[in-house]
Structure 1
Amino acid sequence: MTVARETEVTLAVGQQKDLPAVPPQAGGAPDREMHAIVEIGVSSHGGAGPATGHAPGSGPALAEVLIVDTSRSMLHPPAKLRAAKDATVAAVRMLPEGTAFAVLSGRFDATLVHPGPGSPVPAVAGPAEREAAERAVRILDADGGTAIGTWLDLARRLLREQPAPVKHVLLLTDGRNEHDHRAAMSLETALDACEGRFVCDAWGIGDDWDAELLLRITRRLHGRAGAVREEAELPAVYEELISGLLGTAVPELRIRLTPTPGTVVRRVTQVVPSEQELPAVTAGAGGRGAEYVTRAWGDEVRHFQVVLAADPTGREIGEDLQLAAVDVVVPDLGRPVRLPAPQPILVRWTDNPLDASRQHPGVRRHELYQRASAAVAEAYRAWLRGPDGRAAANRALARALALAAELGDTQLLGALRRIEDGPGTDRVRAGLKDVDWQHLILSSAMTTPPEPAPAQAPSAAPPGTGAAPPPGAAAPAPAGADALAECPDCKWLGPADSVYCGGDCGRLLRGPSA
């Protein structure tokens, strides 16, 4: 007997509910912003084999377009083009029977390598089509320039009529979008046309790719940006990516926000595992409020920051009031899906400035990541100035290292130490290449959730608190958490354990140079 595979979706809201009810200064807006962290998890149970995200017998779950940069620079060194061919072939071989797929060659324009120029639809995976695609990939040569907008637009047209619930593009480039002005479609126009149509992962290879370009593409198209340090690593990376796509548990998940009267949704941003702004769409099936679309979920947990605005005028002080309801909407997958109950986002208006100054740990963590990423960008810009920017680059690197340590992010710390001139020096290492910085910029864009609080020994824990808090709940406040730190420059008030000022000046508050 076959056991039906069941998918479970979990939802938790973490927030610090207190907001100041004190009237603003003259001319200021009366609204206050509530920042909440919404934690959503997807997990699959039972059944055999990977989750496929579609109903049995309803067709393949995936439609795939593989884009290979074949600009002239891919021949310098030739190992780049060889690795790109090997990786593309490895990906094609993994596609299940019946999967719609295409391979594109990208230069000044985009050429359909397989199923062949002029074909209006992708090929359908099977032994003959996979072998034909491999032959076509093996004879690829490189010439011309780079105009990525045209590559993405051809992928969009090929995927437009595909019924597969997961439409995915895997893009590889070794350079920068230097010939956008010569292209039939600019990158920005292409991103506008492609947004919401498919998910795109973008990868860099070689020594001259642009991290900001990859992030710009993947943030708009809800994918992942990455790069390999050695060309030979690429086939294994492609196999891992395709395997993850074939294990998709939920092709699309929507976060539905229904605000109460007087509440405005300012923005919804994915903050773990990377930052992505989510545009609002009208709630389906006559629902009130708005929905925010996310795609291609495996068994994983993601965090989202929800920012709501509300006016405290005339509201009760010290009472929990609902600002909005959060719900999760999943399309019919043709198999059991357990959805969570809606959760409220609350506010408690207070006239106590100490209560109003506290932040939820998840909100603060996201702010620390934003500062760390900004510090990396600042260090890179200073490094580009040569000897004149060395001191500024060192200061920005020291700030990024301190923030990564405060976050406890070992991956980011490791990436930062790759460019540091020895442990603890806080100086940029001599002899760096630009590609070293590009890898660091990608690393600083990846985020992690906080480590779960360890269970306390029964003798040290109050009754009933021996376990870690549930997902999304605020961690217990450390000793002295009610104390505040004041920045001597801009007078910002914040938690006493702040390393840097959270105001405009960004001054170091703790440490040897504070």
Structure 2
Amino acid sequence: MSDQFKAEIFQNQYLPQGAREVDAIMTITVEKGDSAMGYAPPEAIATTNNGRLFGIICDTSGSMGGDKIHAVKDAMTKIVNLLPDDAHFFIVTGAGKATVVFPVSPATTEKKQEAIAAIKGILANGGTLMSTWLTQALTQFKKMPNAIRQALLLTDGQNDDSDEKSLKQVLLECEGIFQCDCRGVGTDWRVAQLQEIASKLLGTTDIIANAAMIETDFRTILEKAMSKNVSDLALRLWTPQGAKVLFCKQVSPDIVDLTHRNKPVKPQLVDYPTGAWGSNESRDYHFCIEVNAGNIGDEMLAGRASLVYTLNGIETKVAEARILATWTDNEAQSTKIDRRVAHYTGQAELAESIQEGLEARARNDIELATAKLGKAVKLAHESGNEATAKLLKTVVEVEDAPTGTVRLKREVAKEDAMALETRSTKTTRIPKSAN
């Protein structure tokens, strides 16, 4: 039985007279087996992808010396051994310049042993210019253009400020070629720098508080990467003439703003990147579309969202759902807010409150930090986001979660604040009891 894509739209299609904004949550799920509501992608999707290519991009600047570089080398060795036989891989190390420690190769026993021998010779010294690391990785990924391409970038420090322009340029070149998860070891790296890379390359960012945790995190990332089996998918949105897309965001499992990542296909039709998909995966997307206002009783197709696979210029639609708008004078209908729309609006507000609260805390603006983080505690409680609620408790004393009454902790470990910042965009789905 082949994997199938299923698309569902959740919204309140009823609008009061004069209203123009239409909100909708689109849930896309990859399922096993046949489904009358889903589309089975053609066999070409599964068979023409030229395997999986996993790239390791590792910081080897001077700050990575000592226990860190030993832990990283041990973790890389174990990850290489865990690669499945049908995968390909490469290793790039980076400091002030990048080095291809091991070029793209099949994960055969012989090649794995060669790679492990190369890993043993890695040394840590020099500065940090991440643009050079990504440039070398891009060269390797281009060797397998039809593969599912995933990278892991690990660093413990901050990119040199002189590299900012070059980094932005190379990220534009890497976009759409490969995805990249970023991990920071310790607390001397900048969250915003890694988030910029991960966001552009549709990956995740997280903290590895100490070197002993590197191997576990590497294993998790590799397992996720090897579970992907379909690449080159785009979320395509058609809107009627005169309409404007106010935003398009992935809202689960993480918040990723795709609004400015749109690529016009033709008038009224744009594509948003989604990256690769794996079996039994599910994601939610939030569209907000501004349409021309209708009169009472008017109905409109406000949008048509599709998941589209492209191979050699040939497009295949693998899922589709419609976004509707109906104008009514029935106040009970028009004022009702769809539960999922309300939930994910709250999750976005939660992430924003955390980020603003931590920024205020860093400026020693105690009043604003308390208000913002208190609001975050309230939103996390209301939405059932237990993981975020737990992280918030590392920076505030919660006196009453339902009202958001908190006190800032005087002493907060830097790794706790960074963990809250990096994971603030992770969302929880609406509780089943609320469906």
TM-score calculated relative to the size of structure 2? 0.87
Q: How does 1:113-192 map onto structure 2 within 5 Å?
A: 113-115=101-103, 122-177=104-159, 179-181=160-162, 186-192=166-172
SS of the residue 2:114 aligns to: helix
- The Cα of 1:372 is off from its aligned counterpart by 1.9
Query: Could you tell me which residue of structure 2 aligns to residue 19 of structure 1?
Result: 15
- The question of whether the paired residues in 1 share the 8 Å contact of 2:309 and 2:317 is answered with no
Q: Deviations over 1:121-144 (max 9, x none)?
A: x23322222112112212222112
1:339 Cα deviation (Å)?
A: 4.2
Deviation at 1:238, TM superposition (A): 1.3
Residue among 287, 293, 301 paired with 2:273: 293
Is structure 2 residue 311 aligned with structure 1 residue 321?
no
Q: What's the CA shift for 1:226? A: 1.7
Question: Structure 1 367/114 Cα, relative in aligned 2: closer, same or farther at 3 Å?
Answer: same
Query: Are 2:247 and 1:271 aligned?
Result: no
The match for 1:364 is: 342
Contact 1:219 1:275 (8 Å CA) reproduced: no
Equivalent-residue separation in structure 1 for 2:351 and 2:45 (angstroms): 41
User: In 2, are the aligned partners of 1:421 and 1:430 still within 8 Å (CA)?
Assistant: no
- Higher Cα radius of gyration: 1
Give the equivalent residue in structure 2 for 1:501.
none
User: Structure 1 pair 171/186, CA: closer, same or farther in 2 (3 Å)?
Assistant: same
Partner of 1:417: 393
Query: For 1:105-116, what aligned pairs fall within 5 Å after superposition?
Result: 105-115=93-103
* C-alpha distance after superposition, 1:105-163 (max 9, x if no partner): 11122111113xxxxxx233222221121122122221122221221121112111313
Q: Which residue in the other structure is 1:452 paired with?
A: 432
| Structure 2 letter corresponding to 1:69 | D
Residue from 361, 369, 380 that aligns with 1:393: 369
Does 1:350 pair with 2:358? Answer: no
Paired residue secondary structure (1:142): coil
Alpha carbons of 1:427 and 1:138: their partners in 2 closer, same or farther (altered >3 Å)? farther
**SS at structure 2 position matched to 1:249:** strand
Secondary structure of the 2:128 match is coil
Q: Deviations over 1:257-315 (max 9, x none)?
A: 222333333432111111223322344xx997223231221221100111222111xx3
Higher relative strand content = 2
Which of 171, 177, 182 aligns to 1:197? It is 177
The residue type equivalent to 2:129 in the other structure is: A
- The 1:61/1:446 distance shift into structure 2, 3 A limit, reads same
Distance in 2 (CA, whole Å) between partners of 1:381 and 1:290 is: 35
Alignment partner, residue 37 of structure 2: none
User: Structure 1 residue aligned with 2:284, among 288, 297, 303?
Assistant: 303
Deviation at 1:199, TM superposition (A): 0.6
Deviations along 1:447-503, whole A, 9 cap, x unmatched? 12111137xxxxxxxxxxxxxxxxxxxx4xxxxxxxxxxxxxxxxxxxxxxxxxxxx
The Cα of 1:243 is off from its aligned counterpart by 1.8
Q: Which amino acid aligns with 1:170?
A: L
**Deviation of residue 368 (structure 1)?**
1.7
Aligned equivalent of 1:262? 242
Q: Is the 8 A contact 2:182 2:194 kept in 1?
A: yes
Instruction: Answer yes or no: is the 8 Å Cα contact 2:237–2:270 preserved in 1.
Output: yes
Aligned residues: 417
Report the structure, 1 or 2, having the larger helix content.
2
Secondary structure of residue in 2 paired with 1:373 = helix
Return the alpha-carbon distance in structure 2 between the equivalents of residues 320 and 450 of structure 1: 29
Distance apart, 1:45 and its partner CA: 4.5
- 1:73 paired to 2:63: yes
What TM-score do the two structures reach when normalised by structure 1? Answer: 0.74
Which contiguous aligned blocks of 4+ residues in structure 1 show a shift greater than 4 angstroms?
53-60, 337-340, 351-357, 422-425
| Equivalent position of 2:52 in the other structure | 62
Aligned runs of 1:36-115 on 2, under 5 Å? 36-45=24-33, 60-75=50-65, 78-97=66-85, 99-115=87-103
* Equivalent position SS for 1:403: helix
Aligned partners of 2:14 and 2:334 also within 8 Å: yes
Q: Deviations over 1:63-92 (max 9, x none)?
A: 1210111111112xx222222112222222
Matched, 1:437 2:427: no
Provide the rounded CA distance (Å) in 1 between the counterparts of 2:409 and 2:267. 55
Q: Which runs of 5+ in 1 are unaligned?
A: 23-30, 47-52, 116-121, 455-474, 476-514
Cα–Cα, structure 1 residues 73 and 354, in superposed 2: closer, same or farther, change >3 Å?
farther
Residue 350 to residue 338, structure 1, CA distance change in 2 (3 Å) = closer
Aligned-residue CA RMSD (Å) = 2.8
Flag the 1:385–1:266 CA change in 2: closer, same or farther, 3 A: closer
Deviation (angstroms), 1:98: 5.3
